[in-house]
Amino acid sequence: MKRIVVIGGGSGGVMFSNRMRREFSPDDVEITVIEKSEKHFYQPAFTLVVFDLDEPKNLMRPVKDLFFDGIKLVTDEATKIDPANNKVYTVKSGELTYDYLVIASGAKLLFEEPEGLKEGLEASKNVFTFYKLEGAIKLRDKLKDMDGGTIVSTVCEMPIKCPAAPMKFIMMAEDLMKRKGLREKFKFIFTTPMPAVFSREPYASKLISIFASRNIETVANFAPSEVDYEKRVLKDYGGKEVKFDLLSITPPHGGEAVVENSEGVGDAAGWVTCDKHLMVSKKFSNIYGIGDATDFPTSKTASGIRKQAKVLVARLGAEITGMETHAKYDGEIICPMLTRDKRVMFAQFNYEEAISPAIESYANWVLKVHTLRPLYWNLMLNGLI
């Protein structure tokens, strides 16, 4: 029997484990998942909550209910990996030994920088983040109370989960105030540490056009250094300042501590260093990475994880059985961008090229707002699509 230990019970851990369980019986492969949280959140709908397009109660399920029978769930925190001895250390459960290790530990939000970010979020007066569900709810309520002012959406640094989400927010906020008849009383600003609003064509040109036509200002090459919620000023390292009445901020992201604590497994930021096509560690042949935890040069999205899970099961399955496989991850992701009420643009691309056209459509809206969540709970996590 081969022993597979999976660190993380988020999208990557669930999709991989359930797919692997369908391919191999418990008599052939033992699958153990280490996950510290008892709750699993459907994060792609956090932006929908902000605009009353979904209810918070629909976005959470117990982690224990997501896994197929025959998968062992250990509710604990992995603290360190010992690749030389094929061991994972945990807080409460001691050591777990593996033949193969899959790191699906995800990305953590870092609130210590920029200066004043943590204090601004705790005050909950004019600084919010929808990257946590409670933050999305607070931001929703704040938007309802506003009748004018400057709304700013800012990204602190890259990479982040769902890079299009901060753009979705500013476009939907502008559209919301327009539909409420208050557009002339607001100013909308998007700041990014990148040279432009988006990095891939044809979506970059389309977004630039949308922003220009709707008078949404873009401040590029803006890396926030300080959030002053009392003076309502966002400062960057180059000395630029942006004033706000409401700041929606995407905090810095980093890899989990278990990766940082494990020599040779990750890079300086805590991302698992893997071959971008084969998903195997660049240093350890029996360690694999999936999802937000990795350093793959593509967006961190659930759609990418779905593709990665198929490839990883094929590759690890071939490794276990001694068979050959040509399965490779090509970097494909699909990022739905809400641009205005009843319109969504899909940015679908891989490592090499764009796949979908830069078109806003109602059909995409139906898929994103009404269809993707049930697909996620019932099909994606179960490895059926």
Q: How deeply is 6 buried, as exposed, middle or buried, from its count of CB atoms within 10 A (0-12, 13-18, 19+)? A: buried
233-236 vs 224-228, strand pairing mode: antiparallel
Query: What is the pLDDT averaged over residues 153-157?
Result: 97
2-7 vs 216-219, strand pairing mode: unpaired
Q: Which helix (H) or strand (E) holds 312?
A: helix 302-321
Which of the 8 DSSP states describes residue 66? S
Provide the residue count of the chain: 385
Q: What is the pLDDT of residues 175-203, one digit of tens each?
A: 999 999 999 999 999 999 999 999 899 99
Contact (Cβ atoms closer than 8 angstroms) between residue 156 and residue 224: yes
Catalogue all structural domains in the chain, each as residue range(s) with its CATH number. 2-106+256-321 (3.50.50.60), 117-251 (3.50.50.60)
* The token pair that represents 117 in the structure block: 């970010």
Distance CA 67, CA 50 (A): 29
Question: Residue 83 to residues 183, 253, 262, 302, 340: CA-CA distances in angstroms?
Answer: 57, 25, 8, 27, 48
- Output the pTM of the full model: 0.96
CB atoms within 10 A of CB 82: 13
Q: What is the pLDDT of residues 349-358, one digit of tens each?
A: 999 999 999 9
Largest CA distance in the chain: 67
* The token pair that represents 246 in the structure block: 């409401």
pLDDT at 199: 87
* The token pair that represents 108 in the structure block: 């953590």
